[in-house]
Amino acid sequence: MKKTAKLLIVLSVIVALSACLFACTDNVDTSGNMTLVILDGDNAKEYSVDLSNIPSGENKSSGLFAVLDYLKDKGELTYTANPDGFLTQVNDIKPSGNVYIYLYTDVEKDINVGAYATTIEYKNKTYTDSISGAKDMTIKDGCTIIITTIVFG
């Protein structure tokens, strides 16, 4: 009886973890609007994205890549990423030397709360760098994501 109970507990934990794993990979809302800002120095390009237009289904992209793919397919921006999922260029923004592409967000789940978190101000609102990579960022109604650069070193 004890072995059966232990086995049921272990199986329950596995099922719960699997459900979370699959649920957590779908990090793009399917309704509402979000704002994407490409901030290149003092030049800002804003995109208002109706999330109901983001492709869904088996071959969809996840996180910020879903938004970037949608805008790229519409011919509104260009971007490239390496196989590891790091952005290598967004429009005219690209890393060079000690300049890196950096992502900022106002989605609490993705905000970097560590000692080395950085913030920027855009339109009188403060945004914090994302602890999540582009493919893991949460895209939800009302959020704003800013793509810009940061200098290290």
Enter the pTM of the model: 0.81
Residue-wise DSSP of 21-76 = HHHHT--B-SSSEEEEEEEETTEEEEEEEEGGGS--STT---THHHHHHHHHHTTS
Question: How many Å from the N-terminal Cα to the C-terminal Cα in the chain?
Answer: 62
Q: Which domain holds residue 145?
A: 29-151
Range of lowest pLDDT (3-17, 20-34, 62-76, 108-122): 3-17
The SS3 of residue 94 is coil
The SS3 of residue 17 is helix
pLDDT tens digit sequence for 91-123:
999 999 999 999 999 999 999 999 999 999 999
pLDDT tens digit sequence for 22-63:
333 468 888 999 999 999 999 999 999 999 999 876 667 899
Helix or strand run (H / E) with residue 144: strand 144-151
6 within domain boundaries: no
100 within domain boundaries: yes
Residue 34 maps to which CATH number? Answer: 2.170.130.30
- Number of helices followed by number of strands (H, E) in the chain: 2, 8
